[in-house]
A and B are shown apart, each in its own frame.
Chain A
Amino acid sequence: MLFRVDRESSVPLADQIAVQLRVAIAADDLAPGERLPPARELAKSLRVNMHTVLRAYQQLSDEGLIEMRQGRGAFVREDAGAALLRVSELVTQLVAEARKLGLAPADVHARIDRLMEGTA
């Protein structure tokens, strides 16, 4: 999967990585059971601190999307789909709120796109 981080963004680097991993899991770009790149490697690739990547992995682990196996790295959970249901619920809530405020779908899309690209 493609990772892209922006140091000048107001979104913390760990959050940027976490968002991209969430999107990849939701889009099946990262399949259940698939191993994530080792934190040290990904940190080198993106030229960020390893703890930044570990923080992103921890976020996803807390959300039940991935599991950290001692000494073996991080893996997408087989039941990552269940956690994604929660995302779907949140999206439903978001759509309801947007309608209430009279926001156009394009506005909502643009906001989501900006957040997901880590440039918001």
Chain B
Amino acid sequence: MTLARRLLAILTLWAPGALIALTWLAWRDRLPAELPTHWGTSGPADAVTSAPVFFGWLLGIATVAAVVGSVLVLVPLSGRWVQRAIGAAAGAVAAFVLSMWLGSTVTSLDVSDPFTVELGAWVLLTVMAPCYGLVPLFLLPPGTSPPVEPQETVKIEPLVPADSQAVAWSRTISSWLFIGMTVLLLALGALLFAQPIMRDGIAATAWTLAPYCAVLILVAVFCAYRVTVDWRGLRVTSLLFGISLKRIRPDQIAAVEAATLEPTQWGGWGYRIMPGRSAIILRKGPGLVVTQRNEKQFAISLDRPAEPASILLGLIANPEPSAEARR
């Protein structure tokens, strides 16, 4: 079953290239010698390329994506999620190339002058094409990566407050890693979009501007965030718009550890999401590791993780407040 799904996934990587080759064979006689390959914001094409050259390039790229994707999907790499990511990337590239090919050829069938060809709604196909990567992603077997063994854990005593007491821990963290990334993205955005926006207006640039803004916000929310541990559990909230980044209730927690976080164990620096675990890793160093009852793990870099860990352990030892948290 797993092998069948894997082979089917590989087949989906080759399908776009095959479709390029088949349509070339079928339409070769109906296509002009040169194909339209570039359009401005409106109207007919403003650049053309020799049809066999364009065909050769696109088929070449689709084939390379399929070959690289197939080999890496079959070779056992560090984990299944790596293979799924590679499969998705290869599928997205192959489909994107196919969309470029279809956009140029379907609009040029039985046309003599390629400069009269208009792209029209075919541009949507090019925008949507990378979503094809989801097909191999879902076909490839999901990873069941083993849980991370926290390193150099510190023995922590649970902090169980008296009935008349309440304890809470709060820390605001500014991350230079994410601030740097945000500044870089802003600079890149200014470089990429300033001219098109001034020339064509913001509406015409919206297609490319929207995903850029989404990525920018996704990075910017981690520039400054607040970590709070109290009777309601663990919460990580961005200071940007107060977006909730993580929330774990006390009754969801199975284990808590103050450990030394090794970025390679958690998939690198920054906000990491992997099957069964997520993490906010700013550096190699101390942090908090929370294992949930559903075996999911969450790790976050913190200077002094012992205090929040002791409160959370106290909540597990004395689970009464969690019932209150649900109300």
- A binding-site residues for B, Cβ under 8 Å: 1-9, 29, 34-37, 41-42, 44-48
> How big is the B interface, by class?
20 to 34
Partner-binding segment picked from B15-23, B107-115, B178-186, B224-232 = B224-232
The answer to whether B165 touches A3 (Cβ under 8 A) is: no
Beyond A8-B164, A37-B226, whether A3 also contacts B169 by CB under 8 A is yes
Instruction: Return chain B residues, CB-CB under 8 Å to A3.
Output: 167-170
The answer to whether B307 touches A45 (Cβ under 8 A) is: no
The answer to whether A34 touches B172 (Cβ under 8 A) is: yes
The answer to whether A47 touches B166 (Cβ under 8 A) is: yes
The answer to whether A4 touches B170 (Cβ under 8 A) is: no
Instruction: Return chain A residues, CB-CB under 8 Å to B168.
Output: 2-4, 42, 45-46
The answer to whether B169 touches A5 (Cβ under 8 A) is: no
Beyond A1-B170, A1-B171, A42-B170, whether A6 also contacts B164 by CB under 8 A is yes
A-B contact count (CB 8 A): 59
Instruction: Return chain B residues, CB-CB under 8 Å to A45.
Output: 166, 168, 170, 228, 230-232
The answer to whether A2 touches B172 (Cβ under 8 A) is: no
Instruction: Return chain B residues, CB-CB under 8 Å to A44.
Output: 230, 232
Instruction: Return chain B residues, CB-CB under 8 Å to A47.
Output: 166, 231
Instruction: Return chain A residues, CB-CB under 8 Å to B166.
Output: 4-5, 7, 45-48
Beyond A4-B161, A4-B165, A7-B165, whether A41 also contacts B231 by CB under 8 A is no
The answer to the question of B187 belonging to the interface, with a C-beta cut-off of 8 Å to chain A, is no
In the complex, what distance in Å separates the CA atom of A9 from the CA atom of B165?
9
Instruction: Return chain B residues, CB-CB under 8 Å to A34.
Output: 172
In the complex, what distance in Å separates the CA atom of A104 from the CA atom of B165?
30
In the complex, what distance in Å separates the CA atom of A35 from the CA atom of B230?
18
In the complex, what distance in Å separates the CA atom of A44 from the CA atom of B165?
14
The answer to whether B164 touches A1 (Cβ under 8 A) is: no
